A and B are shown apart, each in its own frame.
Chain A
Amino acid sequence: MEEGRGEEVKHETMTRSKEHNVGLMLAVFAVLYIFWLLMSACINPLNGHFSPIHIIAGIICAGVVTLLSHDLLITKEGEMTLAKTFRLIAYVPWELWQIFLANFDVAYRVLHPKMPIDPRIIEFDTSLRSDFALTTLANSITLTPGTITIDIDPGKGRFLVHAIAKKPADALLVDKTMINKVAHVYMEEA
């Protein structure tokens, strides 16, 4: 009896439980099909290749991918996603400017003859809990020169970060500008 129960549990973890919501499947199919048409240059009426092979092959490929994994692109969880999307679009240019400014710092550290580095590992807690917010903050930390994310604990929002000198580590521990901005985007401030 115990072996039977063990096999049942193992079989359940192998498959995903899906709800076949037709509206979501059509939306995912539309996104994939427009991507296919853009990649194969079919939309342009002046000099596009209006061959039926591209259009029919696009329908087949986008249809197969939608049937197999339509619940990975658009998920049902999360509320107020439209406001969060607008705030995310407003957050990206500030981040790009920070990345561009601070990459000169890493270039200075590499090309200096004495190589002033002093690496250390730091650990801190945040108030973010959802998947998107943790991923955005981890990507921002990895892209800003001076710090790389090593590990995340999603239950407590704890980040394990490797910093290359004292100044970038302080910008993350003491100033907390980036953490506050990401918490403002995803509306999860403490």
Chain B
Amino acid sequence: MFSIINIIATILIAGGAFFMVTGVVGLLRFPDFYTRLHATGKCDTLGEVLVIVGCMVYQGWSFITIKLFFLMFFIFLANPVGTHAIMKAAYLTGLKPWKKGEERR
């Protein structure tokens, strides 16, 4: 277990899991729709990228590494585009943003 590759992979996977849990806690805690998208659209993407890089380091040089690299590349590009699309739809339909001092929605 205590080879250097396993330790690096464990550190990367633990960091990725920490960011994912932070993202979902932000989804529950924030008071408004726009601020919730801030938490999930960024922390989720970075946490996933770290977990998949950890799996790539653990695997070594094989074909699964190439597939994991394509998966990471696609998630890195697609998640912010989805976040922006849903936020644009909400803004153009007329959802009002939250200012400091109002109540939760």
Contacts and interface: CB of A to CB of B under 8 A. Distances in A.
Interface of A: 38-39, 41, 44, 99-100, 103, 106-107, 110-111, 115, 117-121, 138-139, 142-143, 145-146, 148-151, 160, 162, 164
* Dominant secondary structure at the B interface: helix
Interface residues of B, number: 36
Given A106-B39, A110-B22, A150 B87 contact: yes
Across the A-B interface, the 9 shortest Cβ-Cβ residue pairs? A142-B80, A110-B26, A41-B63, A107-B22, A145-B42, A103-B46, A118-B100, A150-B91, A164-B38
Contact of B43 (A106, A119, A148, A151): A106
A162 B99 CA distance: 12
Interface of A is mostly: mixed
Nearest to A102: B42
Contact of B84 (A44, A103, A142, A146): A142
Contacts, number: 85
B37 A110 contact: no
Contacts of B70: 39
Contacts of A118: 100
B25 A148 contact: no
B91 A119 contact: no
Contacts of A162: 34, 38, 87, 97
A136 to B, nearest CB: 11
Given A100-B46, A111-B25, A148-B87, A139 B35 contact: no
B75 to A, nearest CB: 12
A145 B22 CA distance: 13
A151 B91 CA distance: 9
Interface string B69-105: 0100000010011011001100110000111100000
A107 B29 CA distance: 12
A139 B87 contact: no
Residue with the highest number of chain B CB atoms closer than 10 Å, among A103, A110, A149: A110
27 contacts: A99-B46, A100-B46, A103-B19, A103-B42, A106-B26, A107-B18, A107-B19, A111-B25, A118-B100, A119-B34, A119-B99, A138-B84, A142-B42, A143-B45, A143-B80, A145-B38, A145-B42, A145-B43, A148-B83, A148-B87, A149-B84, A150-B87, A151-B88, A162-B34, A162-B38, A162-B97, A164-B38
